Amino acid sequence: MKKVLCIIVGMLCLLPLAAKVKLPAIIGNDMVLQQNTNANLWGWASHSRKITVKTSWDNKTYTTTSTSDGTWKLQVQTPSAGGPYSITISDGEPVALTNILIGEVWLCSGQSNMEMPVKGFRGQPVKGSCDVIATASPSDNIRMVTLKINSSQTLLDDCVATPWMESTPANVADFSATAYFFASYLRKVLNMPVGVICSSWGGSKIESWIHKEVYTEKFPEISLSVLTKDPKDIARPKDEPTLLYNAMIHPIKQFTIKGTIWYQGESNLNNPQVYKRLFPAMVESWRKEWNQGEFPFYYVQIAPYDYGRKNADKTEAAEIRQVQLECLKEIPNAGMVVTADIGNRTCVHPSDKESVGKRFALWALAKTYQRSGTPYSGPLYKSFAIDKEKIIVEFDYAEMGMTSYDREIVGFEIAGKDGVYYPAKAVLFDNKTKVVLTSEQVPEPIGVKYGFRNYQPLNLFSNFGLPASPFVAK
């Protein structure tokens, strides 16, 4: 009898064990998949198992086999925007994903100004949030998922995240305001579902969002000793190289997206020139990781703020804005949202997140979705010429002229050979497409700055109501 039992047990051990596939946190019910593409799906199963994936929009079945470590990955062909649809994934025991939409998917990342929810932070409201929350509805076809803050010294295969959520009032209240306003404007104009993935951590430095390989290949002077420390000795992981990338970017790099919006920079005021090198390197690395070519990457030029109420006339924040402007020429397929008009002197989290989201959306509509005629940028510095005691500044994106809305134009400074800058009188001319600058203190000017202070709200706008970017030119 014992011999028979042993034989039976042995035979059972040889039979393949059916186990429900495990999916990453970013894949689930209510998600949005990128339209008109081959979208990635992946997960884990028992080793060497046949995996089948059936998509309801075309009743097509895809198959693959899990590897020796149980991982599997395949691509499904997505149609034009629509839904809801379902996907069934099975290795013998099916897992059904329901209420899936097909549309446009964007990754939204950065620090606290991206993290700030529609309901605001305590004592720091978001303008218009009551109306936005009260009128939110699942019928808006905006879907949202938030990665919870996490760090790791090694690359993680999965993240910690909320489920994908429909745009109910409660869900919208807790989601990134910038990301939601961006998605809402896109959805309204494109008339199709939009999915937004928020992966952000307040106060984080750009160093934390960058892959380890970038440092070893391009920045060997930046220490990676944090990767060998006892985790208990890492007090602020959001300040340390690569820790947030490992936990909050690497796990979702396989999820097919249309592009990225980025709001970060306030935590890197101490070394703008290093930021100028790190930022393009980060974008290049993310694009390499996603393997989708040079997908759109739009970012915010940080808003004015006096950083401690004693430093309004200092220039740390302005230097980051200058670097961000210069990066516009360094990063292919990029766009920059200007917020020089909507800062708050005493709060690093400006309340007007709707304008930020809309300006992001305008860049995407004009450049990514090729909607001809859509305005997307305020005036950007192009060049200046010296005419005796005058400096004449020319701008890009000012074909329809500029305006200060009948107020005195403020924020320009000019300097002579001594390098001392003085406030300049600014006058629009040449059909209001150029600015003439003069100052009694500078009879022979050779350099010009605009908005080069930590807190300096500016009032030079394009004919479309988009603000000019601060800059320095020598």
Q: What is the pLDDT, as a whole number, of residue 6?
A: 46
CA distance 345 to 354: 19
HSE (side-chain half, CA atoms, 13 Å) at 467: 27
Q: Is 353 inside any structural domain?
A: yes
Please report the pLDDT score of residue 8 as a whole number. 43
Q: What CATH number is given to the structural domain containing 91?
A: 2.60.40.10
What pLDDT, on the 0 to 100 scale, is given for residue 5? Answer: 45
Structurally, the chain folds into a number of domains equal to 3
Residues 354 and 386 placed together within one structural domain of the fold = no
pTM (2 decimals)?
Answer: 0.94
Q: Let me know if residue 237 belongs to a domain.
A: yes
Same domain for 358 and 240?
A: yes
> Do 96 and 124 fall into the same domain?
no
- State the Cα angle at 17 between 12 and 22, rounded to 5°: 165
| 27 found inside a domain | no
Residues 347 and 259 in one domain: yes
User: Which of 81, 103, 125 is a domain's end point?
Assistant: 103
On whether both 149 and 48 belong to a single domain, the answer is no
pLDDT the model gives residue 9: 42
Residue 21 lies in a domain: no
Q: Are residues 430 and 441 in the same domain?
A: yes
Give the pLDDT confidence of 134-177 residue by residue, as tens digits: 999 999 999 999 999 999 999 999 999 999 999 999 999 999 99
**419: containing domain:** 381-473
Whole-number Cα distances in Å, 200 to 112, 214, 263, 264? 7, 20, 9, 9
Tell me, yes or no, whether 136 and 89 share the same domain. no
Query: Can you give the pLDDT of all 474 residues of the chain as single tens digits?
Result: 444 444 444 444 443 444 689 999 999 999 999 999 999 999 999 999 999 999 999 999 999 999 999 999 999 999 999 999 999 999 999 999 999 999 999 999 999 999 999 999 999 999 999 999 999 999 999 999 999 999 999 999 999 999 999 999 999 999 999 999 999 999 999 999 999 999 999 999 999 999 999 999 999 999 999 999 999 999 999 999 999 999 999 999 999 999 999 999 999 999 999 999 999 999 999 999 999 999 999 999 999 998 866 666 789 999 999 999 999 999 999 999 999 999 999 999 999 999 999 999 999 999 999 999 999 999 999 999 999 999 999 999 999 999 999 999 999 999 999 999 999 999 999 999 999 999 999 999 999 999 999 999 999 999 999 999 999 998
Cα–Cα dist 320/404, whole Å: 25
**What span, in angstroms and rounded, lies between the C-alpha atoms of 309 and 307?**
6
- Domain end point (choices 80, 103, 126): 103
Last residue of a domain, one of 49, 72, 103: 103
Domain-embedded: residue 18: no
User: Residue written as tokens 């060497």?
Assistant: 48
Scanning 191-306, the segments in alpha helix (DSSP H) are: 212-218, 243-248, 272-290
Question: Could you tell me if 252 and 120 lie in one domain?
Answer: yes
User: Same structural domain for residues 337 and 416?
Assistant: no
Same domain? For 301 and 448 the reply is no
Q: Considering the domain boundaries, does residue 41 fall inside one?
A: yes
Buried b (16+ CB within 10 A) or exposed e, 220-244: eeeeeebbeeeeeeeeebbbbbbbb
Domain annotation covers residue 326: yes
Domain presence at residue 178: yes
Relative orientation angle of helices 177-190 and 353-363, to the nearest 10 degrees: 50
Among candidate residues 162, 130, 158, the one with its CA nearest the CA of residue 146: 162
In this structure, the answer to whether residues 68 and 117 fall within a common structural domain is no
- Whether residues 353 and 247 fall in one domain: yes
